[in-house]
Structure 1
Amino acid sequence: MAELQIRRYKDDDKEDVKEIFMLGMSEHVPSSCMYVLKQPPTQMLLACVFCALLASSKSILLPVLAVTLLLAAGRQLIIYMFSRYIQVCLQKDLDYIQETYVDAVNSCFWVAEYQGRVVGTVACLPAEQNKVCLELKRMSVMRSYRGRGIAKALCRTVADFAQQRGIPAVILYTSVVQTDAHKLYENVGYKKVREFVAPEFMAKITNFTLFEYRLDLQQPGN
């Protein structure tokens, strides 16, 4: 694809990178709301509130209003959680990309330029739980540029980077609601190796699950 260029991050890319990340994360709010709504504890809470108010008020209006307010409050809570996560990520590494990824050993950050515009990002660094592996992070492609092979090219860039350094595998973490990401990673060779509930209190209540994927790499000469 002549119009696509995968290149290393430059300081001038910072604002584009942060915008792509924030927009990508915000896209998961609706699917997260639906996921939480489908969980038995959520449905039980809504049903109990509805039935209790219906029995006590003898009116359909009050329980309907109460359930509507609970749904609205739940959506706002999910929006807040995503906003908080975005802020944590900015403070942890996206405000310090050069120091975190570019200057560090066995780490890197790339952007995808399509027709001269930064439209995607990906990064890697040594995995916290297994230092001999790399962890793929900050994968995101702008919605209007998906379906052009950009995400696959970014995944291959990380795999090539790891393979050139003799690193045996790349791992990544994604959530249960990121179904398009699951398909992408599986299509480029990643295998799901673990499922676990996110450690946050609200995640435990709603059974918000994270997936760990792993890509084992063929080493030169093998």
Structure 2
Amino acid sequence: MAEVQFRHYREEDLEEVKEVFTVGMSEHIPSSCMHVLKQPLAQMILGCVFCALLTSSKSILLPVLAITLLLAGGRQAVSFMFTKYIQTSLDQDLNHIQQTYMDPPKACFWVAESQGRVVGTVGCLPSENDENFLELKRMSVKKSHRGQGIAKTLCRMVAEFARERGYLGVMLHTSVVQTDAQKLYEHMGFQKVSEFNAPDVIAKLINFTLIEYHLIVKHHHN
């Protein structure tokens, strides 16, 4: 196993960081499609369309074709939702990591590097919703380097950064389909505090929920 080094982000990492994030996010499209198919509404629509077409056309071909098209359309909608999210993330902070994460004193961005390549990323910013918390963002580890404890180390670095700066804890959001991430965060001691629908219209339709987690890093003594 090649040595992995953890360090602060540098300007020359920009393209690699964006690639790790984009590829990592795109990996959730298939599981999101499966999530859609498990929704009662989706099953009902597919069932009704199939039965209605089967009854009216007396042929199996048309209903099968229609269902195939609906599934393809659904996948396109899910892909669109992810593409939009990736683009928003790039616009918000990943196109200008230095200004967003490295210049402000209470923000930071780290990378895990192996053989001269970025294989993992994480950043943190003061939470917009609660001044006592830092928000963990852009956690991503390349598929080829998972299972080596990289994400856990990146998580610990954010917690340590929060502790050193006197924050009460770290909060983050992940989605219902990111089951590996949920397991990781729960293993690291994060507690689930709420679940809510993503603001996107498509997300609302397919019941694509986001989960908020909190990790308390230290107790303030009066």
Paired residues of 1:111 and 1:118 also in contact (CA < 8 A): yes
Equivalent position of 1:4 in the other structure: 4
Deviation at 1:24, TM superposition (A): 0.2
Structure 2 residue matching 1:81: 3-state secondary structure: helix
After the TM superposition, which of the residue ranges 83-92 and 149-158 deviates more from structure 2? 83-92
In 1: Cα distance, 2:54 partner to 2:105 partner: 62
- Is 1:136 aligned to residue 144 of structure 2? no
- TM-score for the superposition, normalised by structure 2: 0.96
Q: CA deviation at 1:221?
A: 7.7
In structure 2, what is the equivalent of residue 167 of structure 1?
Answer: 167
CA distance in 1, matches of 2:171, 2:66: 44
Shift of 1:220: 8.2
The answer for unaligned runs of 5 or more in structure 2 is none
Note if 1:53 corresponds to 2:42: no
How far apart, CA to CA, are the structure 2 residues paired with 1:134 and 1:147? 26
Superposed counterparts of 1:177-192, under 5 Å:
177-192=177-192
- 2:120 maps to amino acid: G
What is the SS of the residue equivalent to 2:161?
helix
1:109 lines up with 2:109 in the alignment: yes
Runs of 5+ consecutive residues of structure 1 not aligned to the other structure: none
1:37 aligns with 2:37: yes
**Equivalent in the alignment of 2:120:** 120
One-letter amino acid of the structure 2 residue matched with residue 16 of structure 1: E
RMSD over aligned Cα, in angstroms? 1.6
Q: Distance in 2 between matches of 1:17 and 1:48?
A: 45
The one-letter code of the counterpart of 2:138 is R
8 A Cα contact 2:121 2:141, kept in partner:
yes
| Paired residue total | 222
- Tell me by how many angstroms 1:114 deviates: 2.2
Identity value in percent: 64
Cα displacement string for residues 68-101 of structure 1 (whole angstroms, at most 9, x for unaligned residues): 1110111111111111111111111100101111
State the TM-score, normalizing by the size of structure 1: 0.96
Matching residue of 1:94: 94
Structure 1 runs, 4 residues or longer, greater than 4 Å off: 219-222
Q: Secondary structure at the match of 2:199?
A: coil
Residue aligning to 1:84: 84
> Distance in 2 between the 1:214 and 1:27 partners?
25
Cα distance in structure 1, aligned partners of 2:2 and 2:115? 9
Q: Deviations over 1:132-175 (max 9, x none)?
A: 21000000000000011100000000000000011011000000
How far apart, in 2, do the equivalents of 1:88 and 1:2 lie? 33
* CA distance in structure 1 between the partners assigned to 2:128 and 2:220 by the alignment: 25
- Structure 2 match to 1:13: 13
> What is the alpha-carbon distance in structure 1 between the residues aligned to residue 204 and residue 78 of structure 2?
14
For residues 27-50 of structure 1, the C-alpha deviation after alignment (integer angstroms, 9 at most, x for no partner) is: 000000000011011111111111
Alpha-carbon contact 1:197-1:207 (below 8 Å) kept: yes
What are the within-5 Å matches in structure 2 for residues 60-79 of structure 1? 60-79=60-79
